[in-house]
Amino acid sequence: MAYKELVQVILDGVGGRENINGVTHCVTRLRFDLKDENKAKTDKLKNTSGVVTVVQSGGQYQVVIGNHVPEVHKEFIEEAGMSEGNTDSSDSGKKKGVFDAFIDLISGIFTLILSLLAATGMIKGLNVIFVSTGWLSETSGTYAILQAAGDAFFYFFPIFLGYTSAKKFGLKPFVGMAIGAALVYPSMSSLTVGLDPLYTLFSGTLFESPVYVTFLGIPVILMNYGSSVVPIVLANFFGSKLEKFITKIIPSLLRSFLVPFLTVLLMVPLTYLLIGPIATWAGNILGSGALAAYNFSPVLAGLIVGGFWQVLVMFGLHWGVIPIAINNIAVFGYDPLLILGMSTPFATAGAVLAVLIKSKNTQLRAIGIPAFISSFFGVSEPSLYGVTLPRKKPFIATLIAAATGGVIVGLSGSQKFMMGGMGIFGIPTVINPDTGWDIGFYGFIIAIIVAFVLAFILTITFFYDPKEDREQEKQAKKKVDESTEESPELLETKEIVSPISGKIIPVSEITDEAFSSELLGKGIGVIPESGEVIAPFDGVVVTLFPSRHAIGLKSTDGVELLIHIGMDTVKLEGEYFHSLVEQGDHFKQGDKLLTFEPEKIKQAGYSIETPIIVTNHQNYLDVVMDESIKGIKIIN
């Protein structure tokens, strides 16, 4: 499926390239850092086919796309002329609150590696299963290789965070990676082997630290930085400041090598001497505080986190919990917090299944079936925005069931021993590497089953009435029927004659699913009999593709029309297409806009079926094919 037209709508909807500081994506969302969110056309985006919804939270403008967001993101950065992870927060025209800035910082650092974090965690989880079931021995070569594949990412985590945090802070990424690599350099971690400490600092306190080596006579407190999070993030924050200062004082001729030379030379010792120990102690305190809150009442924690996890996800605020969980696993070897919300996708799946069983709405089924499957794999947002939240009561059933699952997890003392996949892929992360399938693991299994079943029962009995959907459909149909039948004199319509002469066909017969599914808008298809595109109204050329195979028009009264000549004809790179106008040109009805050579296009192996689409169809009551005028009728 092509996403070019969709990303153009999104690019315009967020205020254009000049309004974007940066854009990343997570599992289902494009996450924008915009200079001015007031310039965004939020209502238009929410009503765009292919966009599930828009969320403004955590200092980010989040456009929820669905499971195909990686493809849309790739197309978007190409269309906008950006690079992967492109960001320039320093150019932001807005000031964020402390909490918004924190969420933006965390998501900016972790989003790029979240998929790999899940994938390698799943490999570690599988290895634990293989050992627990006796399929593998911990001394076997197979186990060792699989463990290397799964654990290397976590052990060398500072290197990966060195890259992502450097990009976030504006430090050269490879400089950030070099600082991270220095923290996990093998020779440093082995300095304490077989040696007695020279002396001990802070004896008798929480920060008591033996000193084995010094740097220029200054004591070095050696820490284990493998799998750590906070030290490299803080080091790169200060490193970015240092790099900017050095850049200012070094002549431009010498910057290419002297700036990274001095930055690494100064930052690595500074990190070992000061930043690393302080950051490690801070991480330990953070983890201990989180565990203390959990230990105060695991049941209450499960009720709150489980019950509100879906709400946190809605606003992107779950990012505040993820780094705490990663830190807990690095420091203590386990985390009891993140697992409290892991019943949520299963609860969502149960509610969606109940809706699908009770509803006879084919359109709802088309949305609900893939959303149900996605929920089992931990991606619940298609279910949330497409099924449960619009109907309100199933959403409430989801919260109740997820809260119940969180309570069971808290009662069972279930813990997460590694970061990994979501949904069913998250199950192996709950297996204790030391004891195997213990009460915590079984408690978690019970929790997700109860969450699924309870949400299903609540929804199918009390929390969903399909009559509500049917009533909404009847009201919408009644509105159209009343407008089109008894009061034609009160009906405002626009008629657009096909700009290309030929055979008119329903858009549903177009072979490209992006058009036939009306993802890009409503309209008609044409099998051209001539090679001319004639302006169907007065207006302006808003888009002219470089390959000239497609053109976007906007009428003086606001109709936005896309004319896409042929299927996959972008590959012809403009051959057989000839433009008589340029982007931004104004035209009159009847003006010739483009010419093309249908026979040569067919001889080159391409279909010439041409979608003619009203891309802003959501602004009108309906857009229908009208064979009597060989064109489109817009009902307003």
**Per-residue model confidence as pLDDT tens digits over 319-366:** 667 777 877 887 788 888 888 889 999 999 999 999 999 887 766 777
**Which pLDDT score is estimated for 87?**
47
Q: Which two tokens stand for residue 251?
A: 């002549």
* Interval 116-139 mean pLDDT: 80
> Could you say which architecture CATH assigns to the domain 493-635?
Distorted Sandwich (2.70)
Closest CA to 35 of 50, 22, 52, 48: 22
- Residue 476 pLDDT greater than 70, yes or no: no
Three-state SS string over 555-591 comes to: ECCCCEEEEECCCCHHHHCCCCEEECCCCCCEECCCC
Q: Which two tokens stand for residue 365?
A: 């089924």
CA atoms lying within 13 Å on the CB side of residue 596: 31
- For residue 73, indicate whether it is catalytic: no
Closest CA to 432 of 440, 424, 421: 440
* Interval 23-36 mean pLDDT: 80
- At a CB cut-off of 8 Å and minimum separation 6, what does 617 contact? 521, 522, 523, 623
* Interval 120-149 mean pLDDT: 84
* Interval 536-564 mean pLDDT: 88
- At a CB cut-off of 8 Å and minimum separation 6, what does 611 contact? 507, 510, 512, 515, 520, 523, 524, 525, 562, 563, 564
Point out the least confidently predicted range of 72-76, 223-227, 283-287, 494-498: 283-287
> pTM (2 decimals)?
0.54
* Interval 38-54 mean pLDDT: 83
Q: Where are the domains of the chain?
A: 4-96, 156-195+223-291, 297-468, 493-635
- At a CB cut-off of 8 Å and minimum separation 6, what does 67 contact? 27, 28, 370, 374, 379, 382
Give the model's confidence band at 86: pLDDT under 50 very low, under 70 low, under 90 confident, else very high.
very low
Give the model's confidence band at 88: pLDDT under 50 very low, under 70 low, under 90 confident, else very high.
very low
**Which pLDDT score is estimated for 595?**
92
52 versus 497: the higher-pLDDT residue is: 497
**What percent of the chain is predicted at pLDDT more than 90?**
27
Point out the least confidently predicted range of 151-155, 164-168, 246-250: 151-155
Q: Are 387 and 375 in contact (CB under 8 A)?
A: no
**Which pLDDT score is estimated for 383?**
79
- For residue 26, indicate whether it is catalytic: yes
Give the model's confidence band at 489: pLDDT under 50 very low, under 70 low, under 90 confident, else very high.
very low
Query: From residue 362, how far is each of 103, 365, 368, 386, 470 by CA, in Å?
Result: 39, 5, 10, 14, 11
Helix, strand, coil shares of the chain as percentages rounded to 5?
55, 15, 30
**Which pLDDT score is estimated for 606?**
87
Q: Which two tokens stand for residue 409?
A: 């997890």
Give the model's confidence band at 296: pLDDT under 50 very low, under 70 low, under 90 confident, else very high.
confident
Distance CA 445, CA 409 (A): 9
- For the beta carbon of residue 474, count every other beta carbon within 10 angstroms: 12
Three-state SS string over 233-296 comes to: HHHHHHHHHHHHHHHHHCCHHHHHHHHHHHHHHHHHHHHHHHHHHHHHHHHHHHHHHHHHHHHH
- Residue 483 pLDDT greater than 60, yes or no: no
**Which pLDDT score is estimated for 260?**
94
**Please, which residues bridge with residue 528 across strands?**
502
Q: Phi-psi region for residue 162, left (φ > 0), alpha (ψ -120 to 50) or beta?
A: alpha
- Residue 632 pLDDT greater than 70, yes or no: yes
Query: From residue 128, how far is each of 123, 265, 334, 412, 463 by CA, in Å?
Result: 9, 40, 14, 20, 40
Which backbone phi and psi does 84 adopt, to 5 degrees? -55, 130
**Per-residue model confidence as pLDDT tens digits over 169-228:** 889 999 999 999 999 998 887 777 777 888 888 877 767 788 888 999 899 888 888 878
**Per-residue model confidence as pLDDT tens digits over 414-428:** 998 888 767 888 888
Burial of 236 (0-12, 13-18, 19+ CB in 10 A): buried
- Residue 17 pLDDT greater than 70, yes or no: yes
**Catalytic residue among 73, 318, 564, 617, which?**
564
**Per-residue model confidence as pLDDT tens digits over 135-164:** 888 889 998 999 899 888 888 989 999 999
Query: From residue 635, how far is each of 485, 488, 506, 621, 623 by CA, in Å?
Result: 12, 11, 17, 5, 6
For residue 636, the SS3 value is coil
Please tell me the CATH superfamily of domain 4-96, with its number.
Glucose permease domain IIB (3.30.1360.60)
Give the model's confidence band at 486: pLDDT under 50 very low, under 70 low, under 90 confident, else very high.
very low
Distance CA 551, CA 545 (A): 6
Q: Give the position of tokens 């001729």.
A: 253
**Please, which residues bridge with residue 219 across strands?**
214
Query: From residue 461, how far is each of 346, 358, 464 by CA, in Å?
Result: 18, 10, 7
Distance CA 510, CA 340 (A): 47
Q: Report strand pairing: 209-211 vs 592-596.
A: unpaired
**Which pLDDT score is estimated for 323?**
76
Distance CA 183, CA 228 (A): 9
**Catalytic residue among 26, 73, 549, 617, which?**
26
- Residue 468 pLDDT greater than 80, yes or no: no
**Per-residue model confidence as pLDDT tens digits over 265-286:** 999 999 999 998 888 787 777 6
Give the model's confidence band at 470: pLDDT under 50 very low, under 70 low, under 90 confident, else very high.
low
Q: Which two tokens stand for residue 443?
A: 């408690």
Segments in 415-563 forming alpha helices (H): 439-461, 466-484, 513-516
Q: Do domains 4-96 and 493-635 have the same CATH topology?
A: no
Q: Which two tokens stand for residue 483?
A: 């407008």
